[in-house]
């Protein structure tokens, strides 16, 4: 499980996350919803170990994500953006490096498997400067999945992707969920969250305002769609 | 941790070799540096064979104006100086009144440690002899005595310390060798930290199950390896090129053997280790990639400062603790067969490695800081 317990993050005078507590269960996709600046990315970066919480604790698979971040990362896949691919190494070389660092046993097999699974073979032997946005996304995802992690955290994975790429990503995430992976993803595309997530967490101004199924959220807000429910919720909070 | 460093260092090399255009640009110094040194040294050697231009200083005396006038009439330059300015000139004439007579004795002093200097001294001697001869002829013509004693006599004094030309060559050699690690690793270090940070690649690497120390050490080792390879190539090519020149004409004997080159590299290793660490420190603490490049470019001029300030720094109480100064002294001693102070060498190596360790600790701390999160 991915667990946040009373997590707060303060930057100078800005409270980006305010005592967030939730659990993401194994074999589920949990969607993190919020407007720009609501604190989604801050929370995910805190799980990734790039930021330290001002208070509270985070754990992934029962291991403290702050104190034992290296141990946590061995079972965690992270995609926090499309940036960050090395410019002068081919995609395959980057996957091999990732597999080595994740201490994968059979590296060649792991790289071949993920290339086949994510359909990377057409471009993976080129350097990323020639990749399309979709190809970059798939390569980032492949790097995060090459060690078959039990936990996966994605920050706005559909950003910049076309319809086909989004459909492909949806298939992959569904497959991973069915394999028992615990997935936490953020997005502000309501349709995306609605179609793929088992549960949603709604954050507004750093506070968790809803934790549950999207249909319950719609009912609670008295709106027919997730988008309308979200807008209503944010308006109420304002 | 060793495996992490190995894989990450390999990644740095792949990135480095993959970016072959930047690599070519970085290693351009290996060819351009020695070529520039060769051109400078060739010019100095060629000047030895040319007719010397004399610049003679005459120390204040009532005969000084006549000597200056004679020198200038013969197409050379001369100036009257005070006793305290003597050290600033290669060729100096000092006139002293002879005791118990009205005569004057001229002391011409200069270096004869090279063909060029010797040639200048001979030409100056000939010029002043001509003056002495003329003055004595006038004196004799106006004298009524049958036993004429020359009014003016001349003697020559040579001093054979490092002359200005030898010093210039040694200084240029030092600058070109000591600049090599700065210039060759500049682009690599600024890109591997500043560039990767701005592209989000550094944050992505730190998201892997690796320690920040492994990331820093892998980048550091790749940088040091690159610096050493580049410095070795520059040194070998440079010394090979100028080794063929008739440097003996400058009174200079460069000791260029495989042993001295290997010894020079061993001597420079702690220095390269310090340079790469300092570059990493600047690249990581600068606010942006551009800012780091500006500071790193400025840092590359440090060898020039050290070479030209050497005399002043050496006079300081802890002058021998300053890394660049010691590296320069050690190299000069190595190539000119002078005695090497091994105690100072050890002190310099320890100072270099200690400063490098301190710089790397700061880089590591910066890598662990939350600043990295803003680039992803």
Domain ranges of chain B: 2-46+165-375, 51-162
Residue B159's pLDDT is: 65
* pLDDT for position A134: 82
Give the range among B19-28, B50-59, B220-229, B241-250 with minimum mean pLDDT: B241-250
Q: pLDDT (tens digit, 9 = 90+) per residue, B216-269?
A: 999 999 999 999 999 889 888 888 888 778 776 666 666 677 777 788 888 889
Stretch 165-194 of chain A: residues touching chain B, C-beta under 8 Å? none
Q: Does A45 touch chain B (CB under 8 A)?
A: yes
The CA distance from A37 to the nearest CA of chain B, in Å, is 13
The per-residue pLDDT for range A119-131, each reduced to its tens digit, is 889 899 999 988 8
Q: What is the percentage of chain A residues whose pLDDT exceeds 70? A: 99
- What pLDDT does A66 receive? 85
Question: Among A47-56, A92-101, A208-217, B107-116, which stretch is predicted with the lowest mean pLDDT?
Answer: B107-116
- pLDDT given at position B58: 92
Residue of A nearest to B215 (CA): A101
The three-state secondary structure class of A135 is helix
Topology of domain B51-162, CATH:
abc type-2 transporter like fold (3.40.1710)
CB contact at 8 A, B113 and B67: no
- Give tens-digit pLDDT for B273-321: 999 999 999 999 998 888 998 999 999 888 887 777 766 766 666 666 7
Q: What is the ipTM of this complex?
A: 0.87
pLDDT band at B164 (very low <50, low <70, confident <90, very high): low
Dist. CA B55–CA B79, nearest whole Å: 8
Confidence at residue B135, expressed as pLDDT on a 0 to 100 scale = 85
Which of A50, A137, A144 is most worth mutating to test chain B (most B CB atoms within 10 A of its CB)? A50
Using the beta-carbon criterion (under 8 Å), do B200 and A45 form an inter-chain contact?
no
Terminal alpha carbon distance of chain A: 32
Residue range A169-192: average pLDDT?
Answer: 87
Q: How confident is the model at residue B148 (pLDDT cuts 50, 70, 90)?
A: low
Rounded to an integer, the average pLDDT of B57-78 is: 90
Determine the pLDDT at residue B280: 95
Q: Which of A52, A86, A143 sits opposite B370 (nearest CB)?
A: A52
Q: What mean pLDDT is reported for chain B? A: 83
Indicate if the pLDDT at residue A76 is higher than 80.
yes
Angle made by CA atoms A222, A224, A225, in degrees to the nearest 5: 115
Question: What is the mean predicted confidence (pLDDT) over A28-45?
Answer: 89
pLDDT at B364: 94
Residue B161 has pLDDT above 60, yes or no: no
3-state secondary structure chain B: CHHHHHHHHHHHHHHHHHCHHHHHHHHHHHHHHHHHHHHHHHHHHHHHHCCCCCEEEEECCCCHHHHHHHHHHCCCEEEEECHHHHHHCCEEEEEEECCCCCCEEEEEEECCCCHHHHHHHHHHHHHHHHHHHHHHHHHHHHCCCCCCCCCEEEEEEECCCCCHHHHHHHHHHHHHHHHHHHHHHHHHHHHHHHHHHHHCHHHHHHCCCCCHHHHHHHHHHHHHHHHHHHHHHHHHHHHHHHHCCCHHHHCCCCCCCHHHHHHHHHHHHHHHHHHHHHHHHHHHHCCCHHHHHHHHHHHCCHHHHHHHHHHHHHCCCCHHHCHHHHHHHHHHHHHCCCCCCHHHHHHHHHHHHHHHHHHHHHHHHHHHCHHHHHHC
Rounded to two decimals, the pTM is: 0.79
- Assess whether pLDDT exceeds 90 at residue B115: no
- Asked if the Cβ–Cβ distance from B204 to A85 is below 8 Å, we say yes
The reply to whether A83 touches chain B by the CB within 8 Å rule is yes
Which of A149-163, B16-30, B102-116 has the weakest average pLDDT? B102-116
More confident residue, B149 or B24: B24
């Amino acid at each position: 499980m991915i667990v946040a317990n009373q997590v707060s993050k303060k930057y100078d005078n800005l409270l980006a996350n305010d005592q967030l507590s939730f659990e993401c269960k194994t074999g589920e996709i949990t969607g993190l919803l919020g407007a720009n600046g609501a604190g989604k990315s801050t929370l995910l970066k805190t799980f990734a170990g790039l930021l330290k919480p001002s208070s509270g604790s985070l754990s992934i698979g029962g291991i403290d994500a702050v104190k034992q971040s290296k141990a946590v990362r061995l079972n965690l896949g992270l995609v926090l953006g499309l940036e960050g691919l090395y410019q002068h190494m081919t995609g395959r070389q980057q996957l091999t490096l990732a597999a080595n660092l994740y201490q994968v046993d059979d590296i060649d097999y792991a790289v071949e498997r993920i290339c086949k699974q994510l359909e990377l073979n057409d471009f993976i032997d080129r350097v990323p400067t020639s990749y399309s946005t979709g190809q970059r996304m798939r390569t980032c995802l492949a790097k995060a999945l090459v060690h078959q992690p039990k936990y996966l955290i994605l920050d706005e994975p559909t950003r910049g992707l076309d319809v086909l790429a989004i459909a492909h990503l949806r298939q992959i995430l569904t497959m991973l969920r069915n394999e028992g992976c615990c997935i936490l993803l953020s997005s502000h595309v309501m349709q995306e969250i609605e179609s793929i997530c088992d549960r949603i967490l709604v954050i507004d101004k750093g506070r968790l305002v809803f934790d549950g199924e999207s249909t319950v959220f719609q009912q609670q807000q008295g709106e027919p769609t997730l988008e309308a429910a979200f807008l209503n919720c944010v308006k109420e909070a304002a | 941790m060793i495996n992490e460093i190995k894989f990450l260092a390999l990644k740095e090399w792949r990135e480095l070799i993959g970016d072959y255009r930047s690599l070519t640009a970085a290693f351009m110094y290996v060819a351009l540096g020695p070529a520039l040194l060769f051109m400078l040294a060739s010019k100095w050697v060629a000047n030895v064979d040319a007719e010397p231009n004399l610049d003679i200083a005459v120390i204040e005396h009532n005969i000084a104006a006549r000597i200056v006038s004679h020198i200038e009439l013969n197409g050379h330059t001369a100036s009257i100086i005070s006793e305290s300015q003597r050290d600033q000139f290669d060729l100096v004439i000092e006139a002293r009144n002879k005791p118990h007579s009205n005569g004057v004795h001229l002391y011409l002093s200069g270096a004869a440690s090279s063909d060029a200097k010797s040639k200048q001294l001979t030409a100056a001697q000939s010029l002043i002899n001509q003056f002495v001869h003329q003055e004595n002829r006038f004196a004799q013509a106006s004298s009524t005595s049958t036993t004429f004693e020359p009014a003016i006599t001349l003697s020559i004094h040579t001093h054979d310390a490092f002359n200005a030309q030898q010093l210039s060559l040694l200084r240029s050699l030092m600058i070109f060798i000591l600049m090599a690690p700065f210039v060759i690793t500049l682009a690599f270090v600024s890109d591997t930290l500043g560039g990767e940070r701005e592209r989000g690649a550094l944050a992505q690497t730190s998201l892997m199950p690796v320690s920040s120390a492994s990331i820093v050490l892998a980048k550091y080792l790749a940088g040091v390896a690159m610096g050493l390879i580049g410095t070795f190539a520059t040194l070998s090519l440079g010394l090979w090129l100028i080794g063929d020149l008739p440097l003996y004409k400058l009174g200079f004997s460069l000791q260029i053997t495989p042993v001295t080159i290997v010894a020079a590299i061993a001597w420079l290793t702690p220095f390269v280790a310090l340079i790469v660490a300092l570059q990493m420190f600047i690249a990581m603490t600068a606010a942006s990639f551009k800012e780091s490049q500006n500071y790193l470019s400025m840092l590359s001029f440090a060898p020039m400062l050290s070479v030209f300030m050497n005399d002043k720094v050496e006079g300081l109480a802890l002058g021998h603790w300053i890394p660049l100064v010691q590296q320069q002294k050690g190299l000069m001693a190595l190539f000119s067969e002078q005695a090497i102070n091994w105690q100072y060498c050890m002190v310099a190596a320890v100072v270099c490695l200690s400063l490098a360790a301190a710089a790397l600790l700061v880089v590591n701390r910066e890598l662990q800081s939350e600043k990295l999160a803003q680039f992803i």
